[in-house]
Amino acid sequence: MSPDNAPIELKVKTGTAAALCSAFILSLLSSYVFHGVVPDFVNDGIVAIVTGGIGFGVMWLTKHTPRGVIDVESDNTSQLPPQVTNNPGNTTTGGPVTISPVTDPPAPNAP
């Protein structure tokens, strides 16, 4: 499925709905409570609570939209990573790397 015709993730839809609720609440307050301009502290509170709080809540509760398996083709079919040398004489080809233990340097001699 190409990005052009991919469905919109359900989490995006619920987050957008929460933001629209914030705008709707502010428009109602402006029209019926404050009769014009909503004070900044009320505006900030509504935006923080509705857009931030409710938006986070609904997006956290909403499950991810299930997606199908994507078939990916690769030009690089059988290349192993290059050899890694971590200790003299110890070479691996892409497997686990063992590192020799670090020892403390000898203490300096006191005069």
What average pLDDT does range 80-109 have in this prediction?
A: 60
Residue 42: its pLDDT value, please? Answer: 86
User: How far apart (Å, rounded) are the C-alpha atoms in residues 92 and 10?
Assistant: 46
Signed CA dihedral, 38, 42, 44, 50: sign only: negative
Lookup result for tokens 């857009």: 51
Give the confidence band of 11 by pLDDT, cuts at 50, 70, 90.
confident
> Do the strands 84-87 and 90-92 form a parallel or antiparallel pair, or are they unpaired?
antiparallel
Whether the predicted model's global pTM rises above the 0.85 cut = no
